[in-house]
């Protein structure tokens, strides 16, 4: 349960705010992911990092900016978000890309 952690667990922000989501994995994995989960799209892949290199960007708006400083940490920087960006943001990691993924508990984001 504690292999992948995310902070904060809940975040409320205005449309003009800048905030960051943090993910940390203690599993020795090489790949990390950001997903957006909402009622309309249950598990929407946003970004994939393998060995700290971004390998996938699924046409995500530029108001979401990922950062992977090392293989254990992944950030999602948020700025000028829209109310429709309110969702659960899940981080996951896997040994290598396309291996079994292990999810963090998520950050529940509300944009006012």
Q: Taking CB under 8 A as the rule, does residue 60 contact another protein?
A: no
Which of 21, 23, 31, 109 is in the footprint of another protein by CB under 8 A? 31
Cα 65–Cα 32–Cα 20 angle in degrees, nearest 5 = 35
Query: What is the rounded distance in angstroms from the CA atom of residue 24 to the CA atom of residue 5?
Result: 5
Which of 56, 77, 82, 110 is in the footprint of another protein by CB under 8 A? 56
Which of 21, 23, 29, 104 is in the footprint of another protein by CB under 8 A? 104
With 0-12 / 13-18 / 19 or more C-beta atoms within 10 angstroms meaning exposed / middle / buried, residue 83 is exposed
Interface positions with another protein (CB under 8 A): 31, 33, 41-43, 45, 48, 50, 55-56, 90, 94, 96-106
């Amino acid at each position: 349960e504690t292999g992948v952690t995310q902070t904060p667990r809940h975040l409320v922000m205005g449309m003009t705010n800048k905030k960051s989501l943090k993910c940390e994995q203690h599993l020795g994995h090489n790949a990390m992911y950001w997903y957006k989960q909402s009622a309309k799209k249950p598990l929407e892949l946003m970004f994939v990092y393998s060995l700290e290199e971004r390998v996938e960007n699924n046409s995500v708006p530029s108001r979401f900016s990922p950062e992977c400083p090392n293989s254990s940490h992944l950030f999602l920087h948020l700025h000028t978000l829209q109310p429709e960006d309110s969702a659960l943001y899940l981080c996951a990691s896997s040994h290598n890309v396309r291996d079994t993924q292990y999810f963090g508990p998520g950050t529940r984001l509300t944009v006012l």
